[in-house]
Amino acid sequence: MNVMDFCDTLETPKRTKFILSNVVASKNNPQSTVFVFDVPENYISDEKTFESIIWTYTKGAALPACRMQLREEDGTFSDKIANKAVPLGWIQLMSLTKAFNSDVTYDDLKELAGMERDDLVDYFGLYVGRLVNTPMSGRVTGKDKKIRSQFKFPPFNYSDDPEENTESLEQLSDSFSPVEEDEQTAVQREHVANKNTVKTNATTPKGMEEGDEIIG
């Protein structure tokens, strides 16, 4: 079957909860880290029913500058105003990090911002398999005019008012959020139970005979 034909058979997920299923280094940009998200059904069953959501973080990428409030050392916003580029990717990455680890500090996040791509892959690899609340997903038209399944992040609304720009940035900071631990546990339990279930259409591993005992 053609790969594109296979993609066409997958459903577009319209959800606000996803599993982080993989984190890989981008082949196209040494500054980019690619995050792959799947709906819980895909993760639990190990079968591809819905399209994955691909989100790419690029270190240093930012939107055009605007006037906004500056951050204090503890990460809170001060009354000081400056013309600054909008670090959209880093804001979203901060949000994802806090969703996975509520104990992370602003100093930790600043350190994360300076990490190289391969270090980011290792860091977030620890969270693969974790469930997280996300922006609503759906069909989105990219800058290349191609339509893909993607998260519908709230737009950054430029304004002449620095406080409104800061407020828009704060909304983006809440893009991801943690799920309840019991919900997290339930998904993991189902995933493990499915892996331990012998499927009726299972094949005998090469080199084994029917009835051979597998010793774990």
Q: Tell me the per-residue pLDDT of 2-18, one tens digit each, with 9 for 90 and over.
A: 444 445 578 889 999 99
Q: Tell me the per-residue pLDDT of 187-202, one tens digit each, with 9 for 90 and over.
A: 888 888 887 665 555 4
Note the pTM of the prediction, 2 decimals.
0.80
Question: Six-digit token pair at 173?
Answer: 């900071």
Contact 50, 41 (CB under 8 A): yes
Task: Give the Å distances, CA to CA, from 175 to 42, 96, 134, 164, 171.
Answer: 22, 8, 6, 17, 7
Nearest CA among 87, 58, 77 for reference residue 156: 87
Q: 165: helix, coil or strand?
A: helix
Looking at every residue in the chain, the average pLDDT score rounds to 84
Cβ-proximal residues to 203 (8 Å cutoff; 6+ apart), any chain: none
What's the CA gap between 15 and 135, in Å, rounded?
A: 8
Contact 17, 131 (CB under 8 A): yes
pLDDT of residue 122: 96
Average pLDDT for residues 106-119, to the nearest whole number? 90
Nearest CA among 127, 115, 134 for reference residue 57: 115
Average pLDDT for residues 48-61, to the nearest whole number? 91
